[in-house]
Structure 1
Amino acid sequence: MAKYNTLLYYCYSAIADAEQFAADHLKFCKSLGLVGRIIVADEGLNGTVSGNSESCKTYMDTLHADERFAAIDFKVDEVDGPSFIKMHVRYKSEIVHSGLRDPKIINPQEKTGKHLEPKDFLAMKDRDDVVVLDVRSNYEHSLGKFKNAITLDIENFRDFPAKINELAQYKDKKILTYCTGGIKCEKASALLLHEGFTDVYQLHGGIIKYGKEAGGQDFEGKCYVFDNRLSVDVNSVNPVVISTCFNCGKHTDKMINCANPECNEHFTQCEECGWQMDGCCSDACKQHPRKREYDGTGYYVKVPQPVNTAKKAKIKLAE
């Protein structure tokens, strides 16, 4: 058994006093020596945690013993070391930010797309009456996506609802949605059904589970993940590299964050340009006085930024 594991999971299940649950859950995770990032909301949990195999097993067993979380499908990766540096558990309004907060309209616990196991997704995805839809953000699908999948020009998942009209031409097709671990598809497929799409499916367990159970066949490139690995291999059947270096255009599957913390852009950069640009996307970022030291990984512990009060006020008004 591997010394360390990284667990990816989510669960839509009502949590009473979720804010207090988040505080208690943080203490529990720290007691196990886990690191990671967990979002807690009234509607459920969304997490990636990492630690030694024994602690991860205890964590999974404990959550499964709670009837609210008994159905969690943990995606388990064996890793060389912990995939995070710190442990964060935060209470938020949603476990994945979509802006779709009215449970009378969108409630994954009541109505969502039909779940397809990886082998069934593989069998269906190339049929003439099927459209495969990537519901992830630009930086994610630019690194890797299913062959012939429809992608949307979105910076964040909260932009997805505004793109529904662009999909109207596919209303007579079977829509197969997919994302990293399945969580975004729960709300994306529910919204598609609400908007009049009648035959909607979602890849159960997302790209990560598909890689483990279907060999990742026809997933081109790498899968972006939200920890210090930044990307993982998925396809062991017919892998290809589709992403290109932001600076020189050469094919590369290395994803980094810009070393300038005020930019922090997600982008692909080849090894050579990484060292030439010192982990930055531009010369301006390379000369920035707050530029972080580049160690070849392109992953950095988040540096607190000054509060943008104008942006914060705008978001509050939108809510």
Structure 2
Amino acid sequence: MSYIGPDFDPPRPPRRFRRGPLTVAVAALVPGALVGWLVWQTVGDPDGGGGSNGSVAQSPNTPAPDKPSSRTTPGTEDADKPAKPAKPSPSPSGSSTSRPAASGPLKGKVVVIDPGHNPGNFRHTTEINRQVDIGTNSKECDTTGTSTNDGYPEARFTLDVSHRLRALLEKQGATVKFTQDGDRPWGPCVDERARIGNKAKADAVVSIHADGSGAGNRGFHLILPGAVNEGEADTRPIVAPSRELGERIAGNLVSATGSAPSNYIGDGTGLDVRTDLGGLNLSTVPKVFVECGNMRDSKDAALLTSGAWRQKAARGISAGIVSFLRG
């Protein structure tokens, strides 16, 4: 494969040399140099041959990282994608839990990440449309979620951000549990999502989403539980800590991404209180929803489909969780 770039020199006509003593000496040195180079390549440097971030340059024959489907906006590759953590152990509910870290400021803390929707929901409309009890009333089990105008689905976005967030939290020593990791054909329903966090006795639960509002509506917002005491729902003990969790995430999202809070929800605060969401109503532990942006606005969509921006969002959410859990 040829390469033409700023350092490219066109080939020159070959020159013929008479074989002399110097030529013979150089030829004798080549095998030894080649062996040394091969040993160096095998052992490598302590950083795996990469720069400060540990990345490794790809050769022309190295497979490229996973990229969005053909329907996704061009240029939306998963830039700055973190290395996959060790395979988590499955739980009875079908979700996954990371192994507790040996050390870190969040050692002993449990964080449940709830990637909104499921990539397979659209194949199971009957199942996700059935009604479940959310305390105040009944609601659909789940939905398919939204997408950008170019077809990048919310369910794919939420899993990507959740994976990045898990890697960051595990480095802080937290034990991280997912409600789903694309490891089940559909769901779970909103009531089961809440029960997963409750059963884990989570110190914090964060549900990752993206909105599907009209064009021109921009920015992130967080949905916080309002006071509910009806049926199986009693959010009164978690209203205050959930608000604190939401405020800390919101502040860190601004710092990490440079994005502003929503211009259409929350009166500029980026905070929205609701009592109609089963995932919040049925929670007995601090929980918030993070709507990272509006997928239906072209400017927000350009951010949401950027791997580099998703990494910044994960850093902001992680920093907010760490701040909340450390007090």
TM-score by length of 1: 0.25
Larger Rg: 2
TM-score by length of 2: 0.25
More helix by share: 2
Query: Larger relative contact order (C-alpha < 8 A, sep ≥ 6)?
Result: 2
